[in-house]
Each structure stands twice: as C-alpha cells, then as structure tokens.
Amino acid sequence: MSEQTLMELLSTLVEQCAATDAGKQMIATHDQGIQFTLLDSDDLFYFEAKGGQAQVIAGEMPARSLDDGYEIKGDTAVFREWFSGQARMSDLIEHGRLFPVASHTTKRHIDYWLAQIIRMGNGLKIPKEVY
Amino acid sequence: MSQPLHEILDELLRKAVSTVEGRETLMRYNHTLNFEVLNGDSFHVEIIDGEADVQTGASSPRPIAEAHNIKGNEEVFRTWFAGEARFSDLIHDQRIYPQAAHTTKRHIDNWIVKLVRLGQGKPSLKDEY
Amino acid sequence: MDVNPYRLLDLLPAARNMMDYCQLQRGEHVAIFADTLIPPLVVQAVLAAVEERGCRPAIVTTQPAGLSWRQGAEPPRAYKAAMYASDVVIQLKSVEAQTFPRVQETAMIEHDIRMLRVPLGNSIEALTEEWALFPFEVMQLVTRKIYDQWTEGATTPGDVVKTIRVQADNGTDLTATYDPHYVIHTGFLFPKLMPGQWNQFCGATVGIELFKDANGTVVFDGLHGEEEYKLLPPAGSDVVHPLSEPVRWIFEDRHCRIEGGFEAELIRRLVAAGGAHADILAEIALGVNPKAPLNTMPTRRSGVTHYAVGSTTGRTPNPEKESAEVHTHGHLFKCNLWVDDEPCIVDGRLAVFDDPEVRKVAAKYGDPDKLFEEAPY
Amino acid sequence: MSNQYHILDIMPGARAVMDFAVVKPGENVLIATDTLTNPMIAEALMIAADERQAEVTMTITKPGGLSWREGVDAPISYRNAVYASDVWIEVLPIEGQHFPRLQETAMVEHGVRKVCLFDLSLEDLASEWTHFPAPLMQFIARKVYDQWIGGATVPNTKLKTIRAVDDNGTDLIAKYDPRYAIHNGMVAKQLQPGQWCALAGATIGIELFAEADGVVVFDGLHGEEAYKSLPPLGSDVVYPLTQPVRWYFEDRRCTIEGGMEADVMKRIVAAGGPFATVLCEIALGVNPKAPITRHPTRHAGVTHYAIGSTAGRAPTPDKEYAPVHTHGHLLSGSLYIDGEPCIENGRLLALDDPEVRKFAEQFGDPDELLKEVRF
C-alpha cells in the first residue's frame, strides 16, 4: 500500500477531527489559512479554516493579512512525525526541526489550535483530560 | 469463546517482563496474588524472585504478609486487564474488592497495576506529558 | 497565634526527620502540599530540608480539603496533576483526615507515589517538640511487631478470626472479633516506604477497621477528628480534652449507643445524620510514639487507643459493605489490650517496648529507657 | 523594604491580573510563585481568583533560570500542575527568569493562558499603573502592531524599515520581516489559549532583523541578574548610567562602548559566541503610567533593544543562535516605521489616536488615562 502524501494525511486528520463535536468546536475557534512549506520538496499545500469548516488545499495559499494567514516550514519527515502523532509540535519547534514563520508570541494561539486539531484527528485526548 | 482470565494475566506479565522496567518491577516483591472471581473461575499468580507463575484456582494458604486476595466479577477483571478501566476507579466504584485494610496492601495494588500497565504497553502516566 | 518566636533553625531537625520518613533519594521530585492554614515558616523548613537532600521541590497550596469520609471533595486540577507527577508527596495538614481521598488513592495506586502525611494542627510548636524527632527505624520496627501480633496465624486464602479485648479502670471493657486481613498500618510495614504507601510522620498507628462482632463498653478521655471540635478546648485543635463528663459507647452486636454530656450530644448529631450504619464499630487502633503530646496528638501516643463508629471510605470489603458517611472518633489514654489473650498494652504501656530486638535497635539512637519513656504531658 | 501595605491596597492590582487573564468561574487557576515572591502578593492573587469563582492552587518553587540560558527544567510536580491549569499566573523576579520549555509546551500543547507579573512589588500592585484597563491596553497595542506590520501579507511578505532617532546621538535603521513582529497576547480582543501577556505591560517589538546599521545610545540597561547589584539596588534595571552606553551597528552586529556598565555587558556578550552581538530586538511599551525607573520597558514611548538571540523559536534551520539576549533602553526619542512616525519625542502617537481616545472614554477621562507619568 502506498503511503499517504502529507497533504492527504493532514486532510484525513482534519476530517476525523471534524467528525466529533469537540473537534468541530475546536475547528470553529479561529478563521485562519496556514501554508505548509516543505524545505525538502516542492509540494505545497495549505490548511484553510473559515466559519467552522476546514479543508486542506494543494498549492500556494492566496495572499492575505498577517492576522488571517500563517506559514510553517519543515522537512517532509518532520511533518509526518507530527501528523502521525509520534512527535509533539512544541518539541519539534524546541529541537529546531519545525519553523513557524512568526515571532515567538504572535501565532502561539494558532499553534495550540492546530496542535489540538491534529491531536483530535488522531483520536488522542487532550493531555489535561488524561489525568 | 473469550480467553480465560488467567491466560490474559499470564500474557500481560510475559509482555511486562520483556521490558527492562517490567523485569525490575517484577523483582520488587515476592508475593502471591489471588484473584477471587465471584461469578467465575478464580486464579492466582505467585511471584518469586522475578519469576511469575499464573495458575487456576486458589493458592495454598500463605501468611498474609506474603499473599493478597482481590475479589471481583469476571467482567470487571476483564475491563481492568483490557486497559478500559483503572484499578483505583474500580475500587472506588465498588466493583473490585481488595481483601485488605485500605493501607495494608496498597503497595501490592500499585505493583500489580504497574505490571498490568507495562503488559499493556502503556507508558507510566508520569511520562505522558 | 500572633507571635512566632521560632526561627527556621528551630524547625529544621524535625523537617530533616521527615526526609528520613520518606527516604528521599537525590534527584527525586517532591511536591509539598500545604493547605492555607499551615504557617509559612513550616513550609519553608520542609522546603529547605528537601533541598538539602538534593531533590526537586515544589510547594502546592490550596484550601484545606474536606474530611475524608465526607464524599465529593475534589481538588483543583493543578493539585491533582502535581501530585500524580511527583515521586514523593509530603502533605502538611492542619487536621489529620482532611484529604482528597480519591486523588490520594489514584496517586498511590496508579502513579507510584510515596506519601508522607504530617498533621500539625496549625501550630509551629508542633515541629519543635521531641515527638517530631522519633527515629523512623525504631518506629517501623515497633509498628511491625504490633502488626505481626495482630495478624498472627492469618493466611491468604483463609478465614481466621481473631479477638481483641480492651479493658480499663474507667469502666471500659470491650471485646470484638475481626478478620486480620483488615488490620491497618500506615506505611511502616517495611524498613523502606514503597510506592503505593503512605506513612504518618512520627505517627504510626496499627488498627482494625472492620469487625465481625463487638460487645461491651468503651469510656473515653477525649474526642478528636472533627472540624467542629476546633471550637472546644483546646481551641484550634481538633482534639477535645478534657471532656466535661465522660462519653460512653455501649456496643451490642457491633452497634453502639452513645452516652454522656454535651460532647456526646455532638457525636449523636453526627451519627444521626449518617444513615443506618453510622453507629457500627469501625475502628480500634493504637499509637506508638511515647513522646506524642496527649493534648493535641493523642492518637499517635504509644498505648493510647482510639475508636470510631461509622465506616472507612476508600475500600469496600465486599459488595454488601455497610457504608456510612461518618467515621467519628474517641480516645482512651490508658488501658489493657489483648489480642487473642496475648497482652499488647499493659497498664497503658506497649509491651513491645520491652521486646529485646526493639530495644537493641533503639540503642542505636540513645538510651532505650529514655527513648521509650512516656512524655509527662 | 518595610511593608506599609495592607492586602486591601494591593487587591486592585490582583484583580487586574484576573482581568488580563479573563478568568471565568470554574476555571482552574494556578498562582505560580517562587521563593522570592512576597507572600502577600500570593495571598492577594489567590483571593482575586477565588472572587472570580475559580479553582485556585498556589505553588512555590525556586526561580527558573534566565530564558536564554539553556537547560533549566522545572520540577515535574510544578510542570504538570501548569499543564493541568486553564490559567497560569506566573510571578517572576525578572522578566526572563522562568522555565521556557515548560512555557512552550504548556501553551502549545495544553492551551494554557498565562499572565506574567515581572518583578512587581506591593507598591506596584497598589499603584495606578498596574490597574491600567486591560481592554484599553489591548486596543493601544493593536494599533501599534497594525502599524508595524502594515500592508504585510502571507505569503509575499515584504521587508519593512524601522528607524529610531534621538537627540542623544541615537540613529538606528533596521529592516525586518513583519511576520516576526512580536506582541504579548494583546493583539486579540482577549487572551486566547496558547497566549501569554504581562500585567499592564503590553509591548510590541521585532526580534529578527534582515539588516541593522547605525547607533543607539542608552539611558539605562535591564534584564540581567548581574544588574541587581548596581543602583537602583535589587532591581534588574540600571538607571541612571554613570556614562552613556552606546551600541554601534554595522551589518546587524554591534560594538559596545561606555563605562563600567558597558563593561558588564561586554563580559556577558563575550561569553555568548559568534552571534551574541547581532541585533535581536527593538520594542516599545504602551503603558503611560509605568514607572520609568523600575519598569522602563513597559512605559509608553520607551524603546528597548537587545543583542544576541531569542530562545524558543528558530526562524530557519540556519538560525544564528546565541545564549545571550541582553538589553538596553532609551527613554525618549522618535521612532518611524517605513517613514511613518510611531513615537515622536518620547510620545507614543497611538495614545493620541482619536479611536483610542474614544475607546478610553468607557474607562474614565481619556486625558487622565492617557497622560504620561514620567518618573
């Protein structure tokens, strides 16, 4: 079986997240476009959430204001690790493997939101509830 | 037909000892644990010097310092072994009954809980963050 | 108390002794839980002692918990998470039983915690007194000896029933039978505190919390363990002593009738609100520390016995358990106590203090006669 | 310092913390203090959280390390208490003295909202500067932020230019990618999970530059443990200086000149490796009441600067990293973004913006609220 592309993987996660009430609610928290830029590949895709609907789209994101748009850079393998639930976003940033294109405070609420969507897409609980 | 409880426990302990942490944990005490199944077949495990021996039926009588008895219904043990419920919640919800005062065997409760969890391949909860 | 005449140095010997009771290993993560009633100086002394052992301390403060036998007390989430993450938990408490029982249970069973409970009242003095220096090794051995006596001959599986009898000149004469599986200790079974266990700082007790039968009378010198008692003398402590007149529990087939003055009336009210099983004998226990102050920590004092009616939360012996949201206490200073006719307390003194093995271990810490000499208060 | 304050005096400051955190009933609030925290501050914060019907827990640990020095981990008990909370009130002796890794994980993975109290005394909590209305501060900060990122889009971001000028000889021009403009939790209408802010202390800044040339001449320095032994004693702010400290930038790197304060700084930078002299921050404060001697970086129109790098986020794999992030500040002066004024002679122009004045009316007289207190 051929491996899902990163874009397909993210699409699946977003769909799975949107399939639960808590996930839907989480997606509806912000409207935001997030460009994923691969440092080792020319593939381009972006995540778009608007009015509680989210999708993953191939290509370059149409330009928009800094409030509405965001970009994250990294190698394919790093994104794969994160999306498959094997690594946390915050660790990848800390280890200098994932590069949010924003100052260290500006998009942190978006980081949290995206990290949760991916976590929920993987069927993982928010760690607060583990205890 | 579903797998007998004693086999499930045996498998969990085998998996636990396939890890370093599991082997170290198993060495912690020498103790016999009786699982008294109120609506089914009882079984017990004897753990001596890091070797676990799971058998059907009740163990022969031991001084209480060396043995412990946990009572409950078949499905409750299954829930615990399957990782669907925590032992401490089952006690709280009065579905499992350790035959000991509330402090006396808590270290043994913690020990078997840890072994079962290691057998389930679950990390210790401390590491989850 | 407004004036605090103590310095950190006055409290450090006892704080260091706490570290011996939980046997801290270098590098362990230690959470110190201090409710808002614990004096900050005490918290600082414990913090300093943890730090001395090369451990990583964090102090966690919340409002005091509810009494453990009142259900439903839940701490804030941060409290829980801090407890679960620790290797060792030190609880500084103003009233002994004021805990979050569910969280404590989960912490010990699921998260491998070792726990030390330090009930202090709200007084700083408590930590400057001799009782707080009692050596762990001696207390452990004394406790173990008594536990062995109380469980002697019991097996698993097995259904041995043992008999306990208490007699005192004040009119006490109570006989009860019990399943030795339910004999209780507080983390002193082994020379080392193990994950899943808690012990009580300088305050080991051995007891029984489930009875098959109980008949006779116990006459108390004092009561303890209820928030309401803090208003009665000695004020601020949950101990009531002396009583305006004796309180008597008269048992027939495990159930008791309560007699006495206005203190007995308080107990009757607590029991009346506790349902059908609130008057059942739920505890006979003794303390082992000869220096524990009789006024404020009677249950820790060697040879003092304490008793409860109601039930004990946390563990149910079987599906038919008689549960009551009450566990209310009285204590008796001086008695004779036998287990299966073997003496355990003789005229108020623990027989085990004369055990040659115990005296030999005690000699490591000084003159055994002095160590086991009862404090005069 | 003798304690002349009663808990009632500092309650307004403690309540302001709950306003900045937007604490809601039933939320779990962690008051995280360290062994240097005045116990009365901890008490006041607990009461204020309790007033909001929150579930309150208070912790005490030893202080963390400065964030740009690596390797300081929090005790695990404390760490997990933070993760489990909805709101984390962190009381710190020095702004950067905390557990950066913990902070990052708490916010990104656990959605914690954090409000920091940086070196706040009882006097600060009793003073009007910490009671500055949170929504008004947000409004001002947003205005400044919008100017600093004006016209930027994702993708296709163009560089912008910032210029600082002052009569004291300062004239610095730098270029930056506006995506790296920084705010502290004040850009959205209220604090979001994953964000932190500082009590009454919004700043807007840039922490990554494409170019920097010119000179900046400081009125004071701040943010190092080593500064606590220089006057004013006990504060990490050094002001006034015995003689001016100057940073000369050429191609982003600086040479440091000045007297004994400059020497302390040179020593810090010398230990920081090849990137320790690179410009890594230009920022400003927005609070017109913040005390200039103790909290200069929070004061409206005061600019502050750093060299070294900022821990926590690397822009690219080839990030220039230095375990140094050392600061100086300039009390007055003018600042321009792409030629548009932002500060003129020390006055933050956003304070005179008609929209800001109109918004301020709901909290009192705009003249009073937006008037500078220069001490």
β partners of residue D284: D204, D303
Q: Is the pLDDT of residue D228 over 90?
A: no
What is the arithmetic mean of pLDDT over C270-288? 93
Give the pLDDT of residue B126: 54
Domain limits, CATH 3.40.640.10, in chain D: 7-126
Could you tell me which of A107, A36, A115 has the C-alpha nearest to residue A73? Answer: A36
| pLDDT greater than 70 at residue A1 | no
Q: Would an 8 Å CB–CB cutoff place D155 in contact with chain A?
A: yes
Domain regions of chain B by residue span = 5-122
What residues 46-105 of chain C have any CB closer than 8 A to a CB of chain A?
A: 77, 80-81, 84
Measured in residues, chain A has a length of 131
Whether residue C173 is predicted with pLDDT greater than 60 in this model: the reply is yes
Q: Does residue A122 surpass a pLDDT of 50? A: yes
**Rounded mean pLDDT, C130-139:** 95
What is the model's pLDDT at position C104? 84
Domain boundaries in chain A?
A: 6-121
| 3-state SS, residue B47 | strand
pLDDT of residue C69: 41
Cross-chain Cβ contact D77/C82 below 8 Å = yes
CB atoms within 10 A of CB A53: 13
Helix axes C77-85, C101-111, angle to 10 degrees: 30
Instruction: Please state the φ and ψ torsions of residue C319, each to the nearest 5 degrees.
Output: -60, -20
Tokens 């994953």, located at residue = D194
pLDDT score for B123 = 66
For chain D, how many helices (H) and strands (E)?
9, 23
pLDDT higher than threshold 90 for residue C178 = yes
**CA distances to D2, D203, D205 from D237, in Å:** 21, 17, 19
* pLDDT confidence of residue A131: 43
Q: pLDDT higher for A131 or C341? A: C341
* Phi-psi region at D258: left, alpha or beta (left = phi > 0; alpha = psi -120 to 50): left
| Residue contact A66–D153, C-beta within 8 A | yes
Instruction: Identify whether D25 is preceded by a cis peptide bond (ω within 30 of 0).
Output: no
- D7-126: CATH topology is Aspartate Aminotransferase; domain 2 (3.40.640)
| Residue B125: closest C-alpha in chain D | D80
Is there a contact between C182 and C317 (Cβ–Cβ < 8 Å)?
Answer: yes
- For D244-292, write each residue's pLDDT tens digit: 999 999 999 999 999 999 999 999 999 989 999 999 999 999 999 999 9
| Test mutation, D104, D107, D154, chain A, max A CBs within 10 A | D154
- Cβ(C219)–Cβ(C332) below 8 Å: yes
Restricting to D residues 11-40, those with a Cβ less than 8 Å away from any Cβ of A are none
Q: Is-cis flag, bond preceding D155, omega within 30? A: yes
CA C339 → CA A94, C148, C343, C345, D171, distances in Å? 63, 11, 7, 10, 91
ipTM topping 0.90: no
Q: Convert the pLDDT of each residue in D22-80 to its tens digit.
A: 999 999 999 999 888 898 999 999 999 999 999 999 999 888 765 444 456 788 899 99
Q: How confident is the model at residue C96 (pLDDT cuts 50, 70, 90)?
A: low
CA distance A8 to A55: 11
pLDDT in the model for residue C71: 47
With contact defined as beta carbons under 8 Å apart, do C311 and C327 qualify?
A: yes
Q: Which of C106, C181, C187 sits opposite B64 (nearest CB)?
A: C181
CA dist D350 and D373 (Å) reads 16
Question: Cβ of B122: how many Cβ atoms within 10 Å?
Answer: 12
B126/D83 Cβ within 8 A: no
Q: Which fold has domain B5-122?
A: Nonspecific Lipid-transfer Protein; Chain A (3.30.1050)
Residue B61 has pLDDT above 90, yes or no: yes
Chain C residues within an 8 Å CB radius of D62: 51, 57
Helix (H) or strand (E) holding A131, with range, is none
As a whole number of angstroms, the distance between CA D299 and CA D287 comes to 5
- Cα separation, C105 vs B109, whole angstroms: 11
Rounded to two decimals, the pTM is 0.81
Q: What is the pLDDT at residue D175?
A: 97
Q: Tokens representing D119?
A: 């070196």
Report the DSSP pairing between strands A32-38 and A69-74: parallel
Q: Largest Cα–Cα distance of chain C, in whole Å?
A: 57
- The more confidently predicted of residues C211 and D314 is C211
Q: What is the pLDDT of residues A46-94, one digit of tens each?
A: 999 999 999 999 999 999 988 899 999 999 999 999 999 898 888 888 7
- pLDDT classification of C151: cutoffs 50, 70, 90: very high
CB pairs under 8 A between B and D: 5
Give the model's pLDDT for residue B124.
60
Coil, strand, or helix at residue A100?
strand
Instruction: Work out the percent of chain C whose per-residue pLDDT is above 70.
Output: 93
Residue C325 corresponds to which tokens in the numbers above?
A: 């949201």
Residue D311, pLDDT above cutoff 90? no
pLDDT value at residue C12: 93
Please count the residues of chain B.
Answer: 129
Q: How far apart are CA D332 and CA D374, in angstroms?
A: 11
Which is it for the CA torsion D178, D183, D189, D192, positive or negative? positive
Arithmetic mean of pLDDT over chain D: 90
Domains along chain C?
A: 8-128 (3.40.1830.10), 136-371 (no CATH)
Q: Quote the CA–CA distance of A79 and A92 in Å, as a whole number.
A: 9
Range from A100-104, B97-101, C31-35, C345-349 that averages highest in pLDDT: C345-349
d(CA A85, CA D81): 23
Task: Tell me if chain A has a CB within 8 Å of the CB of B128.
Answer: yes
Q: Which class would CATH give A6-121?
A: alpha beta
C299-332: per-residue pLDDT in tens?
A: 999 999 999 999 876 566 666 677 788 889 999 9
CB atoms C312 and B102 under 8 Å: yes
